[in-house]
Structure formats: structure tokens, C-alpha cells
């Protein structure tokens, strides 16, 4: 079995593949102050709870947008899984031409997303990843990764209101029934949710206009399912896209 690990700024998405099938997946909170042993004990507990013997893991692949955590998770894989992980880094073969100014600056999670997206849904393609940042990644009909757009994630937008104001509370991120909020919480939910839906729809429109083609639009990340329900232009949600991409890159 193959263990896949996508380490983000605020969460860690992990999955276990048997061949092409994702048999198990887990999401943990990320923290650069945790040791390899702390992450390893969590990993061991998850596998044990699901009745998965460590010996069944034959390989591992890792990507992270937090460079200090690379050696931490390398140690986790070696010490607790008994295998040295493949680390997705600049220069790895993707099957796509990276038509961007600086391929070395491209986040490995974005690479994994478009590799999986083109394999599963075809080209042209836009992948929207709703993470700490919201990224829009674009692949042309000829298979060129063209770049995209990066916006603050919706959690950052919500936390900014709470952190930088004296009287506004922290709120649950749900789409309200009405744009006119009759209380502070409802008004904040309206502003954040409808404002963010507008951000998504406008960026998508501008990208599609520049692309000059009608792409497949795929959502992934923690809020993928929610925004797929409220943004008609998003055709499909696949929260495990990066894990599938890691498996494809490993192969």
C-alpha cells in the first residue's frame, strides 16, 4: 500500500492507497512545533484504529508548502512506516509543461492537483483549491500548466474581521439564506460568503475569457463541497485530489 501525505499551512491531508483505490484518508491540524515522534504516534494510532498493519505500507510520497516540515515527515516515514518517502520537489516529471515564470516557486500541492485533475477530468482544466489560500490553477487544452490566481482563503478573510475589529465575533462559515442580515452574525456571514462567492465567480470568468476555451472546473480542499453547492460554474468536487495526484506522481 502507498501512504500519501499533503502537508499544508493549517492542515495535513493523508491517504492510503491500495493500487488506484483510496482506502482510507485522514485530516489533521498542522503545526511546525510538533516533533516527528508526535506526528508518528498520531499516524500509528490512526493505522492501528483502522486495523491496518504497518507492514502493509510499501511506499510513501510527500508534498508540503511548509519547508521546515519536510525533514520532520521524512523522519516520520522512515521511523514509523519503515520507508523513505518520495518528496515532490521542483524538477519532478509531471507530464505537463510548466509554462510559468519560475517553476521552482510553484507549490507542490498545486502540481499534484493539476496532475490528478487532468488525469481524471481532462483538459482544459481549472482546479480551485480551498485551503489557507484559495488557488486557481489552469491547464490549457494542449496540456500546458499556465499558472493561475492566488487569493486569501475564506478562513483568513473571516478571521481578519474577528482579529482586527473590537466588537465583531468569530462566526461559523455557512451560506445564509438572505443577503440582508438582520443581526451582526448574519450580516457577517452574508458579507463573507456572498463576497467570496463573487470573488470565485469573477476570477473564473476572467480566467475563462483569457483562456478562450471552456474548461472543466474542479474544486478541492476543505471547503470544496460547500462552494460546489453554491457556485454553478464548479462542476465537480474532489477533496482528495492532491492525494490522487501524489499517487500518480509516485508511479
> Hey, which residues are catalytic here?
109
b/e per residue 195-205 (b: at least 16 CB within 10 A): ebeebbeebbe
- What sign does the dihedral 240-245-250-251 (CA atoms) show? positive
**Three-state secondary-structure class, residue 249:** helix
Cα(137)–Cα(218) distance, integer angstroms? 10
The position carrying cell 475589529 is: 165
Place of cell 480566467: 207
Cell of 34: 510538533
C-alpha 138/C-alpha 113 separation (Å) is: 10
**Cβ(134)–Cβ(148) under 8 Å?**
no
Residue 38, Cα to own-chain centre: how many angstroms?
A: 23
Instruction: Note the Cα 166 to chain centre separation in Å.
Output: 32
Amino acid at each position: 500500500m502507498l501512504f500519501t501525505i499533503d502537508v499544508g499551512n493549517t492542515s495535513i491531508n493523508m491517504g492510503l492507497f491500495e493500487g488506484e483505490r483510496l482506502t482510507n484518508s485522514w485530516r489533521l491540524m498542522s503545526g511546525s512545533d510538533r516533533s516527528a515522534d508526535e506526528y508518528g504516534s498520531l499516524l500509528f494510532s490512526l493505522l492501528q484504529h483502522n486495523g491496518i498493519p504497518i507492514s502493509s505500507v510499501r511506499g510513501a510520497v510527500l508534498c508540503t508548502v511548509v519547508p521546515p516540515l519536510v525533514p520532520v515527515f521524512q523522519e516520520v516515514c522512515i521511523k514509523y512506516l519503515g520507508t523513505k518517502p518520495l518528496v515532490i520537489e521542483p524538477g519532478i516529471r509531471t507530464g505537463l509543461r510548466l509554462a510559468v515564470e519560475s517553476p521552482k516557486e510553484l507549490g507542490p500541492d498545486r502540481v499534484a492537483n493539476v496532475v490528478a485533475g487532468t488525469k481524471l477530468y481532462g483538459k482544459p482544466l481549472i482546479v480551485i483549491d480551498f485551503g489557507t489560500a484559495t488557488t486557481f490553477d489552469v491547464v490549457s487544452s494542449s496540456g500546458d500548466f499556465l499558472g493561475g490566481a492566488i487569493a486569501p482563503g475564506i478562513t483568513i478573510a473571516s478571521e481578519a474581521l474577528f482579529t482586527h475589529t473590537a466588537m465583531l465575533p468569530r462566526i461559523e462559515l455557512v451560506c445564509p439564506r438572505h443577503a440582508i442580515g438582520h443581526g451582526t452574525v448574519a450580516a457577517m456571514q452574508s458579507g463573507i460568503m456572498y463576497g467570496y462567492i463573487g470573488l470565485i465567480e469573477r476570477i473564473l470568468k476572467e480566467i475563462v475569457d483569457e483562456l478562450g476555451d471552456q474548461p472543466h472546473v474542479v474544486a478541492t480542499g476543505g471547503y470544496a463541497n460547500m462552494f460546489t453547492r453554491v457556485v454553478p460554474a464548479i462542476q465537480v468536487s474532489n477533496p482528495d485530489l492532491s492525494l490522487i495526484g501524489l499517487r500518480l506522481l509516485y508511479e
